[in-house]
Amino acid sequence: MVVLLSETEIDRLFHALADATRRDIVARANQQSQSVSALAQHYTMSFAAVQKHVAVLERASLVTKERSGREQIVHSNLDTLRAAARLLDEFEQVWLQRTYRIQGLLAERPDAADPASPQQNASPQQNASPQQNKQHETKE
């Protein structure tokens, strides 16, 4: 299962999750959709600060806001959270697979380097991964 997020969206998503206050906001909004000021009441920081946290969450699609009269109701977006979880599952899968594949090949292909052994060539010939979906600059 492939997750549909761009690198930039992944950046935003993890960045949004990398703050305890923001995680708490999502949890509360999920528990019950509520206005920004209602959320803000639970924290010692200013209303404006909470507003900014909500904005970060919104940019990451972890919550949505919906106007209701003078209030902005914050709804959690569990789909995005699920996407994040799937994304890490994917990393786990891919990276583990690679680990196993390398281990599995050790017997038959003596030139497949041992990833755990620190004693090795040190000559930086890189057998880099063929898939390049990044948008951050790589050299090679």
Partner DNA sequence: GTAACGTACAACCAAATGGTTGTACTACTG
Partner DNA sequence: CAGTAGTACAACCATTTGGTTGTACGTTAC
Give residues 80-99 in contact with DNA (rule: CB under 7 A): none
Q: Is residue 15 close enough to count as binding DNA by CB under 7 A?
A: yes
Among 116, 122, 135, 139, binds DNA (CB under 7 A): 122
Q: What is the CA radius of gyration of the chain?
A: 22
Q: Is residue 7 close enough to count as binding DNA by CB under 7 A?
A: no
Helix (H) or strand (E) holding 71: strand 71-76
Among 128, 135, 138, 139, binds DNA (CB under 7 A): 128
- Give burial (CB, 10 Å; 0-12/13-18/19+) of 119: exposed
Q: Is residue 52 close enough to count as binding DNA by CB under 7 A?
A: yes
Among 1, 4, 70, 138, binds DNA (CB under 7 A): 70
User: In angstroms, what CA-CA distances link 118 with 4, 79, 114, 115, 122?
Assistant: 36, 42, 8, 8, 9
Among 31, 120, 125, 126, binds DNA (CB under 7 A): 126
- Stretch of 35-43, 78-86, 92-100, 111-119 lying at the interface with DNA (CB under 7 A): 35-43
How far is the C-alpha of 58 from the C-alpha of 109, rounded, in Å? 49
Q: Are strands 63-68 and 71-76 parallel, antiparallel or unpaired?
A: antiparallel
Task: Kindly list the residues in this chain that would bind DNA in the complex (CB under 7 A).
Answer: 15, 18-19, 21, 35-38, 40, 44-49, 51-53, 56, 65, 68-73, 122, 124, 126, 128, 130, 136
